[in-house]
């Protein structure tokens, strides 16, 4: 099957996902929500090698979705905060990243399957830092760039808002709902 045909199939699938999801928990059409919205499928296809996908688990008070840019080879979305400012946290999925200069730190239970690195840049009154999650086929970077006066507590809140979704779970979901294969890591693409 040609790339154009695969793209047409995925586009068709994405067009009907909101209809299928009406009773199945798919609630978002433009945010990479961890419960598998159509935006999360686009994130999955932007970096087909990635075995994990960054997603939004839920918003603590004062946090909201800021926007996204999904394209071939890279997906970016950001969160805004009433205390930490606009674009307070930018989340980027790429096939790889450079962690040179960052320090490897222990992972949390919900970060299983990743190696986590921290690279603090500035402490309050204007906190900024990079956090990297490296895993098979990809890397997720959190860029914290807080407004003056925001504290590290907002970094903890943002981290709690974010999580990972297994590409394998997405592959199963698309297969079960649509009878289609979500190409990429661990799934051979036709053609």
Domain boundaries, the chain: 3-101+113-178
Fold of 3-101+113-178: Protein Transport Mog1p; Chain A (3.40.1000)
- The packing angle between helices 38-46 and 167-178, to 10°, is 120
Q: Which of 6-15, 72-81, 135-144, 182-191 has the lowest mean pLDDT?
A: 6-15
Given pLDDT bands bounded at 50, 70 and 90, which one contains residue 15? very low
Residue 95's pLDDT is: 97
Looking at residues 164-187, what average pLDDT do you find?
A: 80
Residue 109's pLDDT is: 86
* pLDDT higher at 48 or 126: 48
Given pLDDT bands bounded at 50, 70 and 90, which one contains residue 176? confident
146 Cβ partners below 8 Å, 6+ apart?
Answer: 81, 84, 85, 88, 124, 126, 127, 128, 154, 155
Percent of the chain with pLDDT over 70: 81
Residue keyed to tokens 């068709």 = 12
49-68 pLDDT, tens digit per residue, is: 999 999 999 999 999 999 99
111-133 pLDDT, tens digit per residue, is: 989 999 999 998 878 889 999 99
pLDDT at 180 over 60: yes
Contact yes or no for 2/18 (Cβ under 8 A): no
């Amino acid at each position: 099957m040609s790339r154009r045909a695969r793209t047409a199939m995925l586009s068709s699938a994405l067009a009907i996902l909101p209809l299928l999801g009406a009773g199945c928990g798919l609630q978002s059409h433009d945010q990479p929500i961890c419960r598998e919205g159509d935006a999360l499928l686009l994130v999955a296809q932007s970096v087909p090698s990635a075995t994990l996908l960054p997603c939004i688990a839920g918003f603590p008070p004062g946090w909201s979705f800021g926007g996204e840019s999904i394209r071939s080879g890279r997906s970016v979305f950001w969160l805004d905060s009433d205390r930490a400012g606009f674009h307070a946290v930018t989340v980027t999925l790429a096939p790889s990243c450079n962690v040179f200069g960052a320090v490897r730190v222990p992972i949390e239970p919900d970060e299983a399957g990743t190696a986590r690195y921290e690279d603090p840049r500035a402490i309050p009154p204007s906190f900024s830092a990079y956090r990297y999650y490296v895993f098979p086929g990809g890397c997720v970077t959190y860029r914290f760039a807080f407004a003056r006066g925001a504290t590290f507590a907002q970094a903890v809140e943002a981290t709690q808002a974010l999580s990972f979704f297994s590409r394998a779970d997405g592959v199963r979901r698309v297969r079960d709902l649509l009878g289609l294969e979500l190409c990429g890591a661990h799934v051979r693409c036709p053609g």
